[in-house]
Amino acid sequence: METKAGDPGAFAHFDLNRVDSPAFVVDAAKLRANCQVLADIRDEADIKVLSALKAFSMWSAAPIIGEYLDGVCTSGLWEARLACEFYDGEISTYCAAYKPEDLEEVCRLSDHVIFNSPKQMERAALILEQAKLTGGDVSVGLRINPQVPTGEVPRYDPSSPGSRLGFPLDQLEPEHMEGVEGIHFHNLCEQDFEPLAQTWDKVFDAIEPWFGQLKWINMGGGHHITRADYQREELVEFLKDAKEDTGAEIYLEPGEAVALDAGILVGTILDTGVNGVPFAITDVSATCHMPDVIEAPYRPAMLGEGAGEGAPVRLGGSSCLAGDVIGDYHVAGGAKAGQRFAFLDQAHYSMVKTNTFNGVPLPSIWLWDSETDALEQVKAFGYEDFRSRLS
């Protein structure tokens, strides 16, 4: 999978030695710029835009997001709690399957609760009824599976054959829509406008009988709206038409687009060697700090990487996993012990997926404002964080 991000922006002038290593550094100014783009789309199209916490849940940046967007979408009880505690605006919650003991609180915290299947809604009927009797104003939605594969990597494509995400559109019957006020579909991953239009062509025909019933339609995330070459004018016209045609409130819930190119992961080379190819061991681990490098897989862009002379150096982490390899790079200044480097576009997903396999330390988290040059460490992790997850 080839990343379409990797613009260094203001990080091209950031001194990597200002932070410890490893460390995530997030640029508040870039976050504001991304959110402004999303807010402009929202205002021009007269829709609502939520930030997906599953992609970027650095709650110290919540005031920035709250200044521009309409709220957040969450993936279950813990994210809903986080949203209620730190974020402004609406809370929309979707989970592939709710535990009954969690659902009552999810309903209390959320404005929209989205179910993965009609059977789940049926089993939750008493909880939903009780929520309304106790003054809750939760609106119930159903996630559908458009069955329109558009993704490059099947494991990231919700419409892949056999997908568990969303109720298959070809199984939708009138009885499934009883009590449903909203439809949700999420069918994109780092994609531009055309796949959304393709998906909507299929969805429109299937849900048209319920246009008078539906209060809202949530078109999910995966929209790379803040990428420079995204077709924003076409998107605005599309959203206007969708709202007019359906009579429903239209929602988008981008995650990656909120933090696109807004963060780096700083690391240090610890040792070098040669085994058929030159290699370097670093304090940044693909396994522990950037799991998508292995899962997607993809090669993250490096800050300041050039063509260089000689063979590239294979960078990998310090864990014992043989596959803990990030990729082959020409490291600026040469690959030598003590050399700092940084990977671009690491604010989203990398931060929320970190783990401590092998006891590898977690990166600290810093908030930098490239407009004022203010720099603050907002979180540091120690041995106690590792220990507290175990027993």
Is the distance from CB of 263 to CB of 59 less than 8 angstroms?
no
* Residue 112 pLDDT: 98
d(CA 357, CA 14): 30
9-25+263-346+354-388 folds as: Lyase, Ornithine Decarboxylase; Chain A, domain 1 (2.40.37)
Examine residue 100 and say whether the peptide bond preceding it is cis (omega within 30 degrees of 0). no
Residue 297's alpha-carbon distances to 4, 172, 323, 324, 325, in angstroms, are 14, 34, 12, 12, 11
Average pLDDT, the chain: 96
* Residue 310 pLDDT: 75
Residue 141's nearest CA partner among 167, 168, 160, 170 is: 167
The two structure tokens encoding residue 161: 């054959």
* Residue 1 pLDDT: 63
Q: Which amino acid appears at position 229 of this protein?
A: D
* Residue 227 pLDDT: 96
The β-bridge partners of 315 are 280, 327
Domain with CATH 3.20.20.10 in the chain: 46-259
Residue range 46-259 forms a domain whose CATH class is: alpha beta
Provide the CB-side half-sphere exposure for 381 (13 A, CA). 21
Task: For the beta carbon of residue 323, count every other beta carbon within 10 angstroms.
Answer: 11
Regions in the chain scoring below 50 on pLDDT: none
Domain with CATH 2.40.37.10 in the chain: 9-25+263-346+354-388
Burial class (CB in 10 A: 0-12, 13-18, 19+), 216: buried
Is the distance from CB of 339 to CB of 332 less than 8 angstroms?
no
Q: Indicate whether this model's pTM tops 0.85.
A: yes
d(CA 166, CA 376): 41
Per the document, the length of the chain is 391
Q: For 172-208, give the DSSP string.
A: --GGGGTT--EEE----SSB-HHHHHHHHHHHHHHHG
* Residue 134 pLDDT: 81
d(CA 101, CA 134): 17
Q: Residue 285 has what DSSP assignment?
A: -
